[in-house]
Amino acid sequence: MVDQNSTPLGKRPLGSQGLLVSTQGLGCMGMSAYYAGRDDAESTATIHRALDLGVTFFDTAESYGPFTNEVLVGKALKSRREDVQIATKFAMEFDDDGNALGFNGSPRYANKAVNRSLKHLDTDYIDLYYLHRVDPEVPIEDTMDALADLFMAGKIRYIGLSEVTPETIRRAHLIHPITAVQSEYSLFARDPEKDGVLATCRELGIGFVPYSPLGRGVLTGGITKVDDLAADDHRRNLPWFKPENLDENVAVVDTLRELAAQKEVTPGQLALAWVLAQDTTPIPGTKQRRWLEQNVAASGIKFTTAEMAAINAASPHGVTAGERNNPGVLATNR
């Protein structure tokens, strides 16, 4: 059994440019967007509990809300700003009223977005600034030139990319060192192993940050039917959660549940520990302290060679029924 009150998380380098973060971070998106049940008081308490447990790496984006999640995170971390690393993202363009305008990776929008994020976060600098998605109308070199200027101005300390191809990583890295690449990665979404993203990051000394390492909640075992999700939960629109797919995906989790029981851990802890074992820095998202504590405890789980083989056999690449996201979203990976 994993001790929920074990030693606080340690630190590890993210990439090779000097950024030091906790061994797992906290994804804050669901506190303000996409998932039902917003509760700013509990979300703030969850962030503070994360600090108690050694989490120092917090992930947000201007699109989460939009803007409201940055404000929440900035307020919650204000008194500990020098002790934490805040990551945020831009390129999904919004006007100042929060109306979505499409993708924009132009230097003009990079400058507008970073200044707005600094204001919402109530900080003088952003530790890790990601290009959230590549703008198909703007060469990656032009976007990177703008981000390099923001780095030189001291507004951002490190640069990241999100949901990109190996070719884009290489082109961007030639302009300015990339510190981290963020992509979905879990036992249900193993594409980075197959499309060369993980290998490219390792070759170039770039950290890899998996988001949704719990398979958008399915790998916790807590979602077994569509009605387990609130009526306004965004996941109802995703392929994994369609009734014709969810039963098959839950069957995979049932097998993982048996392996977790042998280890005396929860299915979610097993899934998260597997991601940690791939030499990555995951950012599991939660807005409740009880789930945060389970996630942090997963950092203490180690697998034997036989246990790892059994997990991989139970959930190989391509095991899920349905794609991880809708076609239009997947097409933004460039």
Residues with catalytic function: 64
What are residue 2's phi and psi, to 5 degrees?
-80, 135
Residues 6+ apart with CB under 8 A from 306: none
- The closest of 221, 235, 162 to 192, measured between CA atoms, is 162
Range list of β-strands (E), the chain: 11-14, 19-22, 26-27, 57-59, 85-90, 92-94, 100-103, 126-131, 156-162, 180-184, 207-211
The pair of structure tokens assigned to 188 is 């249900």
324-332 LR contacts (CB < 8 Å, sep 24+): 324/184, 324/188, 324/189, 324/191, 324/238, 324/239, 324/240, 325/184, 325/238, 325/239, 326/237, 326/238, 326/239, 332/103, 332/133, 332/134, 332/163
Residues 6+ apart with CB under 8 A from 161: 130, 131, 134, 168, 169, 172, 178, 180, 181, 182
Residues 6+ apart with CB under 8 A from 138: 104, 105, 106
Name the 3-class secondary structure at 181: strand
What are residue 21's phi and psi, to 5 degrees?
-135, 170
